[in-house]
Structure 1
Amino acid sequence: MKNSTYSQHYLYALRKTTKKLIRKNIDQLIFTDDDILSDEEVMKILKISKRSLFDYRKKGLLQYIKIGGRYYYIRLFLYLDLLQLYQIPLDHDDDE
Structure 2
Amino acid sequence: MFETLDPVRLQELCASSKPPALLDVRSAQEFARGAIAGARHVDLAALAAAVDELDPHEPIVLICMSGARSAQGCQYLAQRGFTRLYNLGGGLVSWTRCGLPLTV
TM-score by length of 1: 0.32
Which one has a bigger Cα radius of gyration? Answer: 1
Write 1 or 2 for the structure with the bigger share of helix: 1
